[in-house]
Amino acid sequence: MAALIAPSILSADFANLERDLGRIADADYAHVDVMDNHFVPNLTLGLPIFERLAKVSPIPLDAHLMIENPDRWAPAFAEAGAASVTFHAEAAQAPVRLARELRKLGSRAGVALRPATPVEPYLDLLAEVDMILVMTVEPGFGGQSFIEGTLPKIRRAREAVSESGLDVWIQVDGGVSRETIERAADAGANVFVAGSAVYGAEDIPAEIATLRALASKHTH
Ligand code: DX5
Ligand code: ZN
């Protein structure tokens, strides 16, 4: 399985988002962190900006919705052209209904788990989603350090996906860098979000290539 790199524009220059999307044109997805200051104690951007990003981005958008009431708001991100929409398990009222709605709108559907949220309740529902996002930091901010204790959850998720025979992706987000990406890949992740590691790099395309190469050594 190829390792997919999704730089997070949370670490981009918010006054130059189009320019900074151009800088990650070699990546597989642009990860867009939507925060509402309720589900997480931070506020980023909403639908009107996302709609514009979808129009100007050279690569597909991966929306990560850290918001309350995703049942109400997530479908609009699919309608805006997101290639993938991920909502939080802790916030969704009816995750299966919402995932089905997102897929019907032509988007991939992802379910995200905070570090302390168990993956087990979702393992029987793998057929309903395209991706599980195992948060490797507490959501809300870039630049935090990778929580090693999330690795067993990634491993259990990968084992269940393999057993199921389904093509469900496993994404990691938070503290992903040259130092941590190999352990995440070895545990079974195949989609890697990196904000500060990519946008903080001197040579962004080279950093994306390095992260992809390191992860690819371990993705099976
Ligand atoms: C955190 C966000 C991440 C964030 C990752 O809540 O979901 O996508 O941008 O940033 P880094 O890679 O700097 O940890
Ligand atoms: Zn994110």
What are 16-57's pLDDT values in tens digits? Answer: 999 999 999 999 999 999 999 999 999 999 999 999 999 999
13 is catalytic: no
Closest listed ligand to the CA of 141: 1
What is the rounded average pLDDT of the residues 141-151?
98
- The predicted pLDDT at position 220 comes to 65
Q: Alpha helix (H) ranges present in 57-150? A: 70-79, 95-104, 120-123
Catalytic hit among 33, 36, 62, 130: 33
- How many domains is the chain partitioned into structurally? 1
- The predicted pLDDT at position 1 comes to 79
Per-residue DSSP letters for 3-56? -EEEEBGGGS-TT-HHHHHHTTTTSS-EEEEEEBSSSSS-B---HHHHHHHHHH
Catalytic hit among 20, 28, 130, 173: 173
pTM over 0.85: yes
Closest C-alpha to 156, from 192, 113, 199, 196: 113
Can you give the residue range of the structural domain that contains 207?
Answer: 4-216
Closest listed ligand to the CA of 176: 1
* Residues in the ligand 1 pocket, defined by CB under 6 Å: 8, 10-11, 31, 33, 64, 137, 139-144, 173-176, 193-197
- The β-bridge relationship of strands 108-113 and 191-194 is unpaired
Q: Which CATH number goes with the domain that contains 136?
A: 3.20.20.70
Q: Report which ligand 1 atom has the smallest distance to the Cα of 146.
A: 14
33 is catalytic: yes
Residue-wise pLDDT tens digits, 187-211:
999 999 999 999 999 999 999 999 9
